[in-house]
Amino acid sequence: MTFSRHGSGLRADAQALASQVHPVFMLPPIAASWFGSILAGEFDPLLGALHMTAIFLAVYTAHVKDGYVDFYVRGEDDDHPLTARGCRLALLGSSLGFAGMLGALWLVVGPWAAALTLPGWLIGYHHAPQLDTNPVTTTTGYPLGIALAILGGFYVQTGTLTTVALAFAAVFLVLLSGVKVVDDAQDYDYDRSIEKRTVAVILGREGARRAAFSIMGFGLLGVLAFAAFGIFPPSAALAVVVFVPVAYFAYRGTEELATMLLVRGCYVFLAALLVAVYFEPLG
């Protein structure tokens, strides 16, 4: 049982390794990489594939390390599909794979492409037990990774960064930080029992909810401000119109329902913003 705690053989090991692929949390960073590539206005499939693979491996590293720490180090989880040795081998494999993608980006695009991609792995690897014990880094780690995925996806296609790309990254950093506060509130009782300092533990459930939606509101105001200053086209305001009803119903629901609505709403928001900036339907 090299990898699997609950079986033997290649099939059991493969299933244990695959268990660390969590689509709900993996798809947004990968979509952000793709989003940055499309936003660039030119798309080289090879460059896009290199960057997206690097992002996948960084997030996979985060999931394996988080599961290892929660089960084998902190004893928080009741079960884990990977053995301790399997976790270490999986971390080694994903990290080496990431290093290979990083080297390829350096050679094909340049050192700045690697420099923009490397922090994604650093955030993922250090999420537990370093970054997830502080309310600021617990909240902003995942959104920052997505913001960097947007910038990296853009850069590998163009070899540069523009004001529009930076504005997109800033908007999603702020918006998703608000969503992360709501997501963390789902574990309020447990996090409080182990003295894990999330925003919800510090501010309480209602305080965290108010803070979360205030942060999201600030992100939406940022879209309007960028449109007002000509960084985004006027049609970018349509993305705000799309997201506001989602936020309204999410605010009235439970943390679980709110998280589900907001995560899906962010996909719609991203798509609407991309259409607004790329096609300028009101231009």
Question: How much of the chain exceeds pLDDT 90, in percent?
Answer: 63
The per-residue pLDDT for 138 is 87
How is the chain split into domains, by residue range? 11-158, 162-278
The per-residue pLDDT for 169 is 94
Residue in the structure block whose two tokens are 């990083």: 102
Q: From CA 36, how far away is CA 39, in angstroms rounded?
A: 5
Could you report the per-residue pLDDT of 30-61, keeping only the tens digit for each?
Answer: 989 988 988 888 789 999 999 999 999 999 99
Instruction: Kindly state the DSSP code that residue 131 receives in the 8-state scheme.
Output: G
Q: Read off the amino acid at residue 130.
A: Q
Domain 162-278, second-level architecture: Up-down Bundle (1.20)
The per-residue pLDDT for 39 is 84
pLDDT band at 281 (very low <50, low <70, confident <90, very high): low
Residue 282 burial by CB count (10 A; 0-12/13-18/19+): exposed, middle or buried? exposed
Cα angle for residues 216, 65, 68 (degrees, 5° grid): 120
The per-residue pLDDT for 155 is 97
The per-residue pLDDT for 214 is 96
The per-residue pLDDT for 266 is 87
* Spatial CB neighbours of 283, under 8 Å, sequence gap ≥ 6: 233, 234, 235
pLDDT of residue 269 exceeding 80 = yes
pLDDT of residue 231 exceeding 80 = yes
Nearest to 185 by CA among 200, 206, 203: 200
The per-residue pLDDT for 282 is 58
Three-class SS state of 74: coil
Q: From CA 138, how far away is CA 116, in angstroms rounded?
A: 21
pLDDT of residue 283 exceeding 70 = no
Task: Say if CB 18 and CB 102 are below 8 A apart.
Answer: no
Domain 11-158: which CATH number of 1.10.357.140, 2.60.40.10, 3.40.50.970, 1.10.3210.50: 1.10.357.140
pLDDT band at 203 (very low <50, low <70, confident <90, very high): very high
* Spatial CB neighbours of 193, under 8 Å, sequence gap ≥ 6: none
Question: How much of the chain exceeds pLDDT 70, in percent?
Answer: 98
The per-residue pLDDT for 272 is 87
Three-class SS state of 4: strand
* 11-158 and 162-278 share one fold: no
The per-residue pLDDT for 1 is 57
Task: Say if CB 258 and CB 210 are below 8 A apart.
Answer: no
Whether the model clears a pTM of 0.75, i.e. scores above it, the answer is: yes
Report the pLDDT averaged over residues 228-232. Answer: 91
